[in-house]
Structure 1
């Protein structure tokens, strides 16, 4: 695209929630002095008076094209006040913020003899709004100052560098405006003035259309969209337009409604035989078994006749039939006890379901009359809902005929009964004729005392038969004990008798005993009496202390034993703590003792609310004030806000929110992250302020880190931070990781993007979404069963076997060190994940970044050792970084830098023999594509010209940041030594 064109569209890419979204920004030009190609008729004030001259217009020719410039040079005159005003610039109503790009040259005041006291090297830019063109009327009081323009380079001798500055004019509200430039005594020439504003173009994202939106003065402007035809959303879809005219962070995306699927950004009806039941589903599915479609756009497939769905079956599942009859039903009788044991086999056809149950019906016949058995009959375990193929029936009467029916049921039997009351599984029936003599044993109804003596009691009891049949012979079981016995040391005495009376001897005088009698028959035990108490008579004999003394000795011995055990356990624990402290745990071998784990995995809790309330404090949402959106997290938007909770100091906080329409798993993961953060307390770990879980909108509130993510902060300050300060930032990160490793905790996603920076440049570890706790053994690992892992930051053993340890976190820390020393550059540049894994397995390691201290790079290489056991531990890393910070001279030795390793060379060379086909391709390979226009305007259009550039030439085209200047200069140096087709690693 031509640099001087009227409109430019810039493309960039961003990865949001795993989806690659193309972002576009469009520039609408309101004024372009250079592109007009003619004299613009701008107003100068004051008009020419005598020998004094103000701004003058001049015509020049460049490459066959004419262009005009305005210049003024009254450096020898005092109190200069020369104004140049543009014509009326009409503004689009929604464009309240415009950009003004100036190209100009300024001459060095020292080049004028005797004018150093009056000469200036700056000029001012003003603006004035109006609803209509005022023509040639000019009043200085109507203009307000925007900025002072100062050149980066001034003209000396034969050098005339062109300065380019861009300024923002904000808060515009009227129909148009003027720009004015005030000269107060400089020798300046304005070569180009370009006024433009940026827009986010109309677009369609996730089945929602968004209108063209003018980029505002806010970092993020919310724009509402409209769902496309046959698409719905729980909330109004929206997206954010940045100040640079880019669409970011789509929220509440639209989805096709039931019966429709997304095909080429359009919701189309499901074809016959297919259905889509819910909005979140993506594609139409084939109708399941035993169902049939009704036509186009089906939201569900009804069951075919004879098949049903249970109430708890999903509408997307198959339909089922009724089960067949149970097989091989048999009845086994126990005549003496009045019991029947029924057994059977499952039906051959279960209806295609596994939730099979059985029910038993009983009918009895006395002669010709038959009726239901009623509540008297007992079933063990039950008469309905049976999952086993057996049931015991008791409490049967003698001399009656019984018929038992067993029915099979499955999950759709109830639904089938509602559809057709006669619809049920065929039953299996067993008829049984009994001739029971007596079905129930007798019951002891009462017990009486016949005779009482100091050492004996005579007792008798009454037996009541419950059936008309004559009783058989019975035996009786008599149980007795002392009433005042300790319940834990009670001694029972049992006598088996064949009569209804007994004389119990060898009792203690003046002692109360408890007695119970139960009849015993061949079929089992009968009804027992209630427990009656009887007391022996008192005796003149001395009390018997033998038993009391014996039990006293036993109790004393037991107490002594318990005390001895408690003292022994306490001594063992004290010795264990003295042998090993918390700091030693990181270096323990398998033979050494390991301290108790202090971290608790919230995933062990069934209810995530239990875990989050255990480790985090609840905050009322009225105490939180949201101010603005500062980004988007995994679960929803992230806000900057203010926390005003009672008992706390008011201050800024970051507020993570849970997006609408979340699943239960997303809510559990959201709360689990808070449960993890709430267990940490360290100056280099992000601090959890509290959570909101008891209200509709769940939130996680953390401390606010003003400078945001570390990688972006470093890219924005490339070359501005000295090495010792970078090492200090790494020391803070390593301190936080040592704290986590001491708690047997693995982060698994340690990267510069997950490190936050505050105003004091203090770094804090954050984002615990992928974290898991280690096992108890010293070499414990967490083995994942799948899912995505960050390849560029992950150790090779974690990639190959999905095993994560503190040693794998050390590897990731080495990558973070490289990111920090490279000012946020992407690890392994634009290599694919497959190429990264291949290079690592072939022993390739990232080269030292530019100006990286040798000691720091050697620590990186130690972190990247193939054998994880040989890598340093976090305590070792903290100790080494402390030593480097205490000895700044150790950072002066710089590691060797090879610029050829820092770029990906293409497989073919350009026509001029360089490894790149164009200047823009070369700049993109070293991540400096933002300077493409600078090179083009300076006439550097071939790689042959680039190879002859010097440091001064790079500065003159507008590269001012020290880090960018070094990167471009080192790359040019490396290109001079390269062949056209070689690279340091296999492609």
Structure 2
């Protein structure tokens, strides 16, 4: 079975390749079927009575076409029809496709003996269009005969009407063009269409080779190809292929094309694809891209070599597939053994080998002549061992003499000595060795210290022991040394120079105390600020930029920049297009499609994002306006403001990448979940929106288009303010009803404050008015503000101080907050900070949300009393009734359950709705309230169950 499956796979591969090679293309030179005017071909008859006649007809698709027909009365005459000059272009042979009908001789009303059921086809070549009514002569010579064409289907009386199709080849052609000539000698026929074309091998891409479109000039035409982009010829020969006369590629492909370094074969060897970022391919050939070796990276696509990360390197002999390594640490425990004429150095391997196994050591050694003479190398480099011996007979080590004590305390001593007089080497450092006397063995009681100068402080002396000696040696470029001994017999007693030590100790104590005091104060301030941030969630945004009374940023309009692109670069981060994967289109925006996708930035977790694209054919202004939203959004960092991930401008299409909000727009989300959320959940959503708007207002930003449709909801029911492109421009092609103000521009009337409608006065106070409308939308589960009132009616009602009534079951405190937002004087409206505080109080006191407005309570006027009109009992069908209450989604369920008339609807109960699958409480309430109205209108008591 496995062998059979393999054979089937191979068969499919062979068939696929055969189909690829079998493709052919045609280039049409003439097609009478496409002509829209008279053909005006030349006709001739040997009896000076031309009988070819050009007429208009219709083809099988009922398209108007020009045809020639003939039905001679005398079959002895020769009737010719000649086309106009047909340019042959690049063809050396062409094909003529004829569509014609022919009448059976026996079907003629008066058949004559010379009747025929065939006609002849000729052609004549010419370098110029010089044919006339008499030239060339109407004889078989100088024409070249193609064939005598017979009919496969003949027209009979009462028979099926079929047309004939014949394709003939003519050639070879060598001149500029040719004429076609048709000779009828007794045939009664109609020439429906003539199509002249030649075949050519289409462009072929195969095995990383491209062969151009080729017209065959012989039985087999050799074609020379080239390598695809980012591929090269591995050997000297260019790709070869053969084009057959029938326009098909034939023969075996000969090619040595291979992908260049940084590219790998793709799409079945049809193209070379650049290695993605983080991958490489170092040589030309069929290999594939591989991940970069350890500690290296390729930041851009198409890398032939991965660059080492900072601090890592490759040796000159390392190949591209070798990991980058760090420089090793220094050798440890260098031990010199010195005599008068040689130095032997030994050391331990470094603690960190940097990831390499081929460590070598270099020893710098200079052999200098005396009295300032020249220096030359004296040692080896590239040592693989951990020791080296250097021998010389020219120099003696530098001696240290005259060591004296300048200062001493109970636990320290300061020693000084003259700088040795020497001229031939440089002193690198002084090394000291001091040992306790008669206390411990020498190897345990001795200590060591280094000094760059001719003075050292020994600060770790024991208070009681005496020290036998201090030995000093000089480390020079020759590592030579002699030691001088100094016995500090008075090391345990202070000297005359010790008088400053008490002051020194006092100063140190004061400094330590001040440092401790500053540390305690800093920790206290940090704790207080942190506690304040935890108490007030408004001060605790994710970037710590939204602090009460300090550090508040101010919004900068990107169009105040001389070059708006500079604002884009400043406020929006450019993302590599390879980091983004588009998965599906989820909607259409102002400038193009809106998609859902994934964003995976190296080193970060992959997450879902929303992708706004700029459709093709955009103008410079449209591109600036599109990216302006990113320039605006990039300035905001708040948990209730949609977060900008970045932009893509270096490739097409241009994109804006934002966080993905799973539940979409707030208005449609609420309508979909009508009645499913408690008042406390709705207030929580409103609190989030108000918090985001408070942040924007404190940044001196005015949204201008705040509405539930511009609020997005994520999977945790967190609401975030979005759509900052429309907020500046208020685009004229918005899907929401707008009103053209006296100062020009479109305004969403139902959400806009009166002063913004009349005078284009947009402020944070006008955003507060819009927020009140959003509150009404949320509490009514996405109901349309002012229902079906016209824009002008809404404007008139607002001018007469009419305001929206509370939605059903709306808490009284929330409706009062809405009315506060709708104050006519904008200075009387609350600020967003006050709105947030008011909502926080309601959340902390859930009982206050149970107080709802009573029917008929408060002011009464036409607008406040208006509700969506109940569907009249006169609705013609169940579908009309459901559409009137916007519940048309349940039409099929009602009809299948037997509720087929308005009269039956009056008997619907809650149990019936549950049986129909209507489980949303809000939908049940809306349907049952309308059913109750039907009962009143139809005066239908009781209920009927199905």
Q: So what's the TM-score if we normalise by structure 1? A: 0.36
If each structure's strand is expressed as a fraction of its own residues, which one has the higher value?
Answer: 1
Q: So what's the TM-score if we normalise by structure 2? A: 0.37
Bigger-Rg structure (1/2): 2
